[in-house]
Amino acid sequence: MVEELERVYTVSLVGAYETVRGKRTSRAVKILKSFLARHMKTQEERVKVSAEVNSLLWERGMQRPPRRVKVKVKRDAKGEVSVRLVEEPKAEKPAEPKQEKKG
């Protein structure tokens, strides 16, 4: 029986840039699934990528996938693996007060 497991990974997708330009994002999805199947000790068919991760990968089109992606991975007792984005608050720049022009 497989135990439940939850981890955060930063997956490098640089290997997708070694393939033909028109197939890079498809290759990045395959790289992500194979990496997570290997590290979560399951088959690639059991890895389910969420819509948010998929849209992040395809955001810049087929030719320019991201170089790396940070994901939260959860494996249930059946061995099914779900992949989601890590919810990190983005640091905002502090608003600078506008300076008035003298003159």
Q: 20-76, pLDDT tens digit by residue? A: 999 999 999 999 999 999 999 999 999 999 999 999 999 999 999 999 999 999 999
- Residue 12: helix, strand or coil by DSSP? strand
Outline where DSSP puts E strands in 1-103.
5-12, 47-49, 68-75, 81-85
Phi, psi torsion values for 99, nearest 5 degrees: -95, 135
What are the pLDDT digits (tens) for 66-95? 999 999 999 999 999 999 999 865 666 777
- Paired residues of 11 in beta bridges: 69
Q: What's the topology of domain 5-85? A: Ribosomal Protein L31e; Chain: W; (3.10.440)
Rounded to two decimals, the pTM is 0.82
Strands 47-49, 68-75: pairing kind: unpaired
Residue ranges of domains in the chain = 5-85
